[in-house]
Amino acid sequence: MTSFGRRLRALPIRSRLALLVATAVAVAVAAVAAACWLLTREQLRGELDNSLRNISAPAYLLQSTYEECLPTGPPPDRNALPGTAYLQIVQVDGSRCVARGSTPVNVVRSDVQVALHLSSEALHDGTDSQGQPVRVYTQRDRATGLTYSLSRPLSETDNSLNRLALVLLAVAGLGVLGAGAAGLWIARTGLKPVDRLTDAVEHIALTEDLTVRIPVEGEDEIARLSASFNAMTAALASSRDLQSQLIADAGHELRTPLTSLRTNIELLARSDETGRPIPPADRKALLTSVKAQMSELASLIGDLQELARPEPAAGHALPQVTSWHDLTRIALDRARLRGPELTFETSLAPWYVRVEPAALERALVNILDNAVKFSPPRSTVQVRLHLGELTIRDHGPGIPPADLPHVFERFWRSESARALPGSGLGLSIVARTIREAGGEIALRAPADGGPGTEAVVRLPGAPTPPPAEVP
């Protein structure tokens, strides 16, 4: 990058815009001024050439001028050409006979060619004996056979062209200055929304206040940028609120098992310190409670880690095709171990989905764990998978209609479930997993009006896998 480029990038953007506008106008004005000057020059030269062609040199004047070059000399005062043109006779050897009152003009090769009858006329720029530029027109006179040159000073047109150049230069300078001022004004006006955006970003960086919003005016690029910024700050504010809520809820949920665990450990420690042993049955109950609380803590921490995992971006390609019916069978095997006294009625039709197998298996285990947890002893859990819809129905107490909208919220637990082990995160994790796979999940009362709850999961897929992706 050149030093000029580095200096240009160092300027504020409004100064760069003004400079670019002024430069563009300067180039345009310079091109127009140059074209105007050249056209005017050609027009004036054309008029000068026409005037030289239209001047008539009398035969007697040409003859007298020629005779003046002879030793005898011509009659006095008969060879003056009226007007501003210079007259001279051109000889075949390149010599000249200058009319009285005319300024001698240097003879060039094209003039001699006319005298030698090699061309009929010649029109060119030349110089006089004093070095001043002239326009020369050379031709032959039919009456006398003499070749003569008519010349007029180019100062007649050059003075006009010089005045025109000064006028154009002044106009161009004023135009460039006006364009620079207009460009600066336009840049300041057009960049006001950017200034507001900059002020908002600086304010947020300084105060961390994500409630700031920028007014959106119009539908141009600046308006789109402002709308995108507002959407970004709203998303950040929502994310921060969710994070704060998650931390608060996690702290609340962790406090109960930690308090109980600390109480039990203090009882065991005090027994050892005082030398008063706890009855074996009580000690065994305390140790069992400690183990259960540690397991609950481990489960809660695992759930929190799962919730803290970032969701995949839009358009994220899921890794592989998985047989949903096989994962359901695996989850059922684990559920039977937790509820050996329950009966599981299953009907699993083949269905293949594109998901993370481990995540979907964990979601299925969570749903079945809830069914086992709330099912009465020796009851039945019905599991049916048909055309991408999985239905898991238990015969427990069911969920009150008022609680159904909250079942997938983090840490939410119904009144009947608060006495049972769990963190209230299982269904929230399930809903997130199903949503990431492009599916839907819902809890509802059984369609037959009987007791219990139905969990319905729908996932897009097909009854057969793609040929290239057989699991």
Angstrom distances, CA of residue 336 to CA of 31, 328, 361, 371, 423: 89, 12, 15, 11, 22
Please name the residue that has the structure tokens 């007259």: 87
- Rounded to the nearest angstrom, the gap between the alpha carbon of residue 268 and the centroid of all alpha carbons in its chain is 65
What are the structural domains, with CATH classification, of the chain? 57-154 (3.30.450), 221-308 (1.10.287.130), 320-469 (3.30.565.10)
Spatial distance between the Cα atoms of 471 and 465, rounded to a whole number of angstroms: 8
Three-state DSSP string of 95-149: CEEECECCCCECCCHHHHHHHCCCCCEEEEEEEECCCCEEEEEEEECCCCCCEEE
Spatial distance between the Cα atoms of 380 and 50, rounded to a whole number of angstroms: 117
Q: Report pTM.
A: 0.45
Local structure of residue 398 (DSSP, 8 states): -
| Per-residue confidence in pLDDT tens, the chain, 471 aa | 566 556 656 666 767 777 777 788 888 888 888 899 899 888 888 888 888 888 877 887 888 878 877 655 444 444 555 556 888 999 988 889 988 888 899 999 999 999 898 998 999 999 988 889 999 999 998 888 899 999 988 887 888 888 888 888 888 888 888 877 877 787 777 777 777 777 877 888 788 777 778 777 777 777 787 788 888 888 888 777 767 766 666 665 566 667 777 887 887 788 777 877 888 887 787 787 777 767 667 766 666 666 656 555 544 545 678 899 999 999 898 888 888 888 899 999 999 998 888 888 888 888 888 888 888 888 999 999 999 899 999 988 887 777 777 677 765 555 554 445 545 566 777 888 888 888 898 888 888 878 888 889 999 988 888 776 544
Q: 204-217 b/e with 16+ CB inside 10 Å = b?
A: beeeeebeeebebe
